[in-house]
Structure 1
Amino acid sequence: MSLFGSAAPAASSTNTQGDLSKDVALNQPPEDTVTDLVFSPTAEILAVSSWDKKVRVYEIDNSGQSQGKHAYDHDAPVFSVDFSKDGTKLVSAGADKMAKLCDLGGNLQAQQVAAHDQPIKCAKFFESPQSNSTMLVTGSWDKTVKYWDLRQSTPVGTVTAQERIYSMDVRNNLLVIGTADRYINVVNLQDPLKFYKTIQSPLKWQTRVVSCFSDASGFAVGSIEGRCAIQYVEEKDATSNFSFKCHRDPPQGNVTNVYSVNDISFHPVHGTFSTAGSDGTFHFWDKDAKHRLKGYPTVGGSIVATTFNSTGSIFAYAVGYDWSKGHQGNNPQYPNKVMLHPVQGDECKPRPSVKKR
């Protein structure tokens, strides 16, 4: 049995069954599947990228109602969006092999600030430990990670990974890079031009997402086989790193339907985290107690991207087709929406620790 127990719908205990009834749909969502979601660190502003080649920016009010405030185009599908720490700048990157910067406090004109030889899968802001200035890191299918000073047109540093970059996350001085062939590279941004540590994913199949802990002491990995792994940068003891099963149907005879873990988001206050998958469900977990906090009913389509707002009071999730069933699985009736889930009560709070006498 996995450490968390099964995340299958069979878990019918009322205290772990989450409620979707208060979730609110984003007004005027993208016209094609969402690829990434990110909230501003300083306001209830949500940026959304999608396969329809657009980046959209929405303002969310206290009742969860949303209003589109700005949008701009790329020349191809957009794969990644991120806000700067002060919330004034938005970066986006995608299949047109470029990253664009939109100054939300200025003229809103999106300008190219980075380029790769192949599509850019991930773009993240970080605060340079050396200069305390805002910088950009991009990861591409050309197998390189590039660092950009936004005042220069050429990268200030490049690192070559083993394979195409599939996922990337930054928290404080921790940069984690997940590539094809299950390589995971850990970078200390105080020494950004070398890999501090390289491991092969503890999961057996393709990496879908890497996500840094809220305190930057480690990261979670999600894969296509319905598993999640918890990894510490510095292993504390033999049991500190572990993996568990999630996003799987209850076994039917000798067959178990297994779904991709498409995204993992950490709660900014409590340090707990969400997993979301191709089965159309999301779950909240406590990694320290090795316990599932809440599981939610299916939302009617694959969940492709998730994020918390800066206070952790809103959990946004995008529903759309993720191609897990190939071309034949797609149809015009497939749901395409972004939902805002109000985080209430103890949904994301860690379990109280039980001290042994």
Structure 2
Amino acid sequence: MSGLFGSASASSASATNTQGDLAKDVEVSNPPEDTVTDLAFSGAADMLAVASWDKKVRIYEINAQGQSAGKHMYEHEGPVFSLDWSKDGTKVISAGADKKAEICDLSAGGTKQQVAAHDAPIKCVKFFDPPNSNAPMAVTGSWDKTIKYWDLRSPNPVGSITAQERVYTMDVRNSLLVVGTADRYINVINLADPLKFYKTLQSPLKWQTRVVSCFTDASGFAIGSIEGRCAIQYVEEKDATSNFSFKCHRDPPSGNTTNVYSVNDISFHPQHGTFSTAGSDGTFHFWDKDAKHRLKGYPSVGGSITATTFNASGSIFAYAIGYDWSKGHQGNNQQYPNKIMLHPITGDECKPRPNVKKR
């Protein structure tokens, strides 16, 4: 069932109504000094947290006109790879190459404390609410091949599970935790039983996993690979007939060659359940997985897109432009753009196609 959406670039010429517009996109002021690795909006307000290779976490307040103001900044001892907001919007957790995770409490003047540690860089960190508990916890995934759970009041992990390989990507939604590792392993964990893998599969995509992202209803997840493909996977076997993969982020074929690009991030729209893909080719696209249809595709933004996120209301799509090292050190230069853009969601850009029978 590969290729149901068709190649993003090939389909755009024949379907001009799917061509999106970047004209109203607004640049965030005072962006990081190096490539952005992760973006996260607070669920409680339009506050955007940004992690970067420059070792810093920056927090911006976005107003109704899309203008941004820096509100807080703190620093790690190495590049920051991942961050997340607490549900109440008072705390940011971040982790990275310094092998530790820190929490910054914005309600306490930005005080920070270390809450997690690994034996190798931490690639991913997420808050989650454990079932039958009212205290939020954190989960970290590291290149030391472990996934650890942290009660934020205790310096030691309350549980740990060893993956097959280094953790590259991770996402949480409700009780669903999905972890993608090197060698294309995908581990599905039910957080009601967090110390074992509910399911393990090899990615249906043939090349390295770049990102996993949970559906808004937690019934499944999307996978993006370095080879311009995305897969839609449901957790339960009864839904497996709905699994499929499709091509994206690739140039139209030229002779016997096709340039393909990494899918660097996938974000689900919080209201509509549609999703975005963004890649090394500098484009982003909105898709409807149930209709197997591309909703909108956008022209190149002038550099690789390294991270994306929607705000809580789904009215803003944030994307970071920066060098992602997909072309090695020779692809990097001083003129390469490094910025964060805010795209206002208007009209039906992210709305599912009408008259499609929903599952």
Superposition TM-score tier, normalisation by shorter sequence: over 0.9
Q: Normalising by structure 1, what TM-score?
A: 0.98
Q: Contact between 1:282 and 1:295, CA under 8 Å: does it hold in 2? A: yes
Q: Contact between 1:289 and 1:353, CA under 8 Å: does it hold in 2? A: no
Q: CA deviation at 1:133?
A: 1.5
Q: Contact between 2:18 and 2:295, CA under 8 Å: does it hold in 1? A: yes
Report what 1:208 is aligned to: 210
SS where residue 82 of structure 2 aligns?
strand
Unaligned 5+ runs, structure 1: none
Q: CA deviation at 1:148?
A: 0.2
String of CA shifts for 1:260-279, please: whole Å, max 9, x gaps.
00000000000000000000
Report what 1:81 is aligned to: 83
Return the letter of the residue paired with 2:124.
C
Which of 311, 320, 324 in structure 1 is aligned with 2:313? 311
Normalized per residue, which structure has more helix? 2
SS where residue 305 of structure 1 aligns?
strand
Report what 2:173 is aligned to: 171
1:220 and 1:354 map into 2 onto residues whose CA distance is 20
Q: CA deviation at 1:107?
A: 2.6
Report what 1:229 is aligned to: 231
Report what 1:298 is aligned to: 300
Q: CA deviation at 1:8?
A: 1.1
Q: CA deviation at 1:239?
A: 3.0
Alignment length (residue pairs) = 355
Q: CA deviation at 1:163?
A: 0.2
Q: Normalising by structure 2, what TM-score?
A: 0.97
SS where residue 181 of structure 1 aligns?
helix
Which of 261, 280, 283 in structure 2 is aligned with 1:281? 283
SS where residue 222 of structure 2 aligns?
strand
Q: Contact between 1:235 and 1:241, CA under 8 Å: does it hold in 2? A: no
Return the letter of the residue paired with 1:11.
S
Q: CA deviation at 1:237?
A: 4.6
**Counterparts of residues 16-95 of structure 1 (less than 5 Å):** 16-95=18-97
Q: Contact between 2:187 and 2:201, CA under 8 Å: does it hold in 1? A: yes
2:188 corresponds to 1:183: no
Return the letter of the residue paired with 1:241.
N
Q: CA deviation at 1:334?
A: 0.3
Q: Contact between 1:247 and 1:260, CA under 8 Å: does it hold in 2? A: yes
Q: CA deviation at 1:110?
A: 1.5
SS where residue 2 of structure 1 aligns?
coil
Q: Contact between 1:9 and 1:297, CA under 8 Å: does it hold in 2? A: no
1:38 and 1:237 map into 2 onto residues whose CA distance is 30
Q: Which runs of 4+ in 1 moved over 4 A?
A: none
Report what 1:119 is aligned to: 121
1:261 and 1:215 map into 2 onto residues whose CA distance is 22
Unaligned 5+ runs, structure 2: none
SS where residue 131 of structure 1 aligns?
coil
String of CA shifts for 1:162-218, please: whole Å, max 9, x gaps.
000000000000000000000000000000000000000000000000000000000
Q: Contact between 2:233 and 2:240, CA under 8 Å: does it hold in 1? A: no
Q: CA deviation at 1:9?
A: 5.5
Q: CA deviation at 1:240?
A: 0.6
Report what 1:349 is aligned to: 351
